[in-house]
């Protein structure tokens, strides 16, 4: 399958990978809803901040999993096919993640 549709790249994920990523996002979404509820219930600032730190950690974990899979599949495939532009794309992505 051509992974470039028009000007946008796409990625076919296995059912297992898809479900794992969606489950992680669902948990993060639940955490965010929980923080909103804490705010609505006038929870103590430190308690809210602690939960926000947990959300940040969960998002970082999500990024690590997705990035590792990206490198193992998309980046490796493109390099094998002689497309070195993927290296610049990866560097830019890492720079964004490390802000």
- What is the DSSP secondary-structure string of 53-66? HHHHHHHHHHHHHH
The per-residue pLDDT for range 6-61, each reduced to its tens digit, is 457 888 899 999 999 999 999 999 999 999 999 999 999 999 999 999 999 999 99
**CA–CA distance, 82 with 7 (Å, rounded to integer):** 19
Read off the pLDDT band of 99 (50, 70, 90): confident
Task: Write down the pLDDT at residue 7.
Answer: 55
Output the pTM of the full model.
Answer: 0.83
List the end-to-end C-alpha distance of the chain, in Å, as a whole number.
34
User: Which residues are CB-contacts of 6 (< 8 A; sequence separation ≥ 6)?
Assistant: none
pLDDT on residue 68: 96
């Amino acid at each position: 399958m051509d992974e470039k549709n028009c000007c946008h790249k796409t990625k076919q994920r296995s059912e297992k990978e898809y479900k794992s990523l969606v489950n992680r996002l669902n948990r993060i979404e639940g955490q965010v809803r929980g923080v909103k509820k804490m705010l609505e219930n006038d929870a103590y600032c430190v308690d809210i901040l602690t939960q926000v730190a947990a959300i940040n950690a969960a998002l970082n974990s999500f990024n690590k999993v997705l990035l590792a899979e990206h490198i193992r599949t998309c980046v490796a495939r493109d390099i094998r096919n002689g497309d070195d532009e993927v290296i610049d794309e990866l560097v830019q992505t890492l720079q964004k993640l490390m802000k």
